[in-house]
Every structure is written in structure tokens, then in C-alpha cells.
Amino acid sequence: MGLFDAFKKEEVVGTKILVCTLDGARFQSLLNSDSQQYKRLYPATSANVFAGVPAFTQALAQAYDIVHFYGDVAPDGSIGGGMTGAQLLDACCTANVKLLWIANDNKPENYAKAFDTRGKKINLITTLRRLGPYFPLFLGNLLEKTSAGEPLAQAWEQLNPKGGDSVQPDTPECGFFGGRKVVLKK
């Protein structure tokens, strides 16, 4: 990522979304719930359970702008299905994904081991605690803002301001790395 890339804002119209996992049995209910939030505002949303890493990486070739992924991040940085967080991040960067969201609960120290975002041109959201029914509400509020043309980082900051003064009670605990200025419209 060059010096001036940090100041450049991209606008995507017709945002394509992939809500997915390699572990369908464990994450099926989350996949169904979250994909409904996306489909409500972004018609080009696909929800898939992949049989393995090759099928997932092949799907990335379909030029998705957002990958909303479920996977347990282990202390060594691996994610179920024979993939590491570094491999997932690199595959998404190679496929020009603008936002990778790890959407299930994981420990912050495991994320630190798995995802080194230095120099990566991607936005990464890591979920520490979904807080049950509050996660779809938060996701829906965020998507309403982004689908209407608000930049991702700005929408995130409004709903989850630094300092913990959220406008929404019981905001899920998530980390945000803004490596790309992007607008993700319908």
C-alpha cells in the first residue's frame, strides 16, 4: 500500500457480498441470520457453506466486495478447514475484497496471531462477542448507513465510537482495522 492510497476513497455500486463458513453445522444459524440482514439491503448477497478451502478460494474469484466469514480462530492462528488467518487475509486481498468480517466470537489474542494487517489494503472487522440478538441489530444499522452511501469507516465510528459511547445499547464487541477507504452502495 503506497503513501497516497490511504487518502484515496473508492465507491462501489452494486456491492457483492459473500456470507460463508467452512463449518456449516456449527455456524448455520448465524449464517442464516446475518445473510438476511445483508439481503435486505444488498441484493447481490450469497450465503454458502463450503466443503473446503479450495471451494472457498474458487468462490472468491467471483469478485466479492464483502466477505462475512465464520470460523474459529485457534491460538496458533489457524482457522478450521485447514486454513490460517494469514491465508484467509491474503486470499481476500488478492481477490480485491474491501471488507473481511470474522463474524463469530474469538479471542483477541488469537486474532492478533492470525491477522497481520500491516500494509494490507483491506478493512478487517474481528468479532470478540456477538452478544446474541444484538449483533443482527448492529449489523442492520451499519448496513443501512453503508448501503445509502456513507463511507464504511464513518458509519462504523458513528455506531461504535472510540471511548465506548455507542448510540446503540449492548453493541457487540468488535475490532475494526481500516486499511481502505470505501463506500459500499447497493
Is residue 10 scored above 60 in pLDDT? yes
**Alpha helices, H only, 66-133:** 85-94, 108-114
Instruction: Please classify residue 7 by burial: count the beta carbons closer than 10 Å to its beta carbon, then call 0-12 exposed, 13-18 middle and 19+ buried.
Output: exposed
Contact partners, residue 23, CB within 8 Å, separation at least 6:
49, 70, 71, 72, 80, 81
* Cβ-Cβ contacts under 8 Å for 12 (sequence gap 6 or more): 65, 98, 182, 183, 184, 185
Task: Please answer whether residues 69 and 127 qualify as being in contact, where contact means their C-beta atoms are separated by less than 8 angstroms.
Answer: no
Domains of the chain: 3-184 (3.40.50.2300)
Q: What is the identity of the amino acid at 56?
A: F
Cα(133)–Cα(3) distance, integer angstroms = 40
CA–CA dist 131, 152 (Å, integer): 22
Instruction: Write down the mean pLDDT value for the chain.
Output: 90
133-163 pLDDT, tens digit per residue, is 899 999 999 999 999 999 999 999 988 877 5
pLDDT at 167: 54
Find all residues with CB under 8 Å of 11, minimum gap 6, and list them: 182, 183, 185
pLDDT digits (tens, 9 = 90+) for 23-55: 878 899 999 999 999 999 999 999 999 999 999
- Contact yes or no for 93/120 (Cβ under 8 A): yes
Whole-prediction pTM: 0.91
pLDDT in tens, 60-119: 999 999 999 999 999 999 997 789 999 999 999 999 999 999 999 999 999 999 999 998
Residue 50 CA to residue 57 CA, distance in Å, equals 10
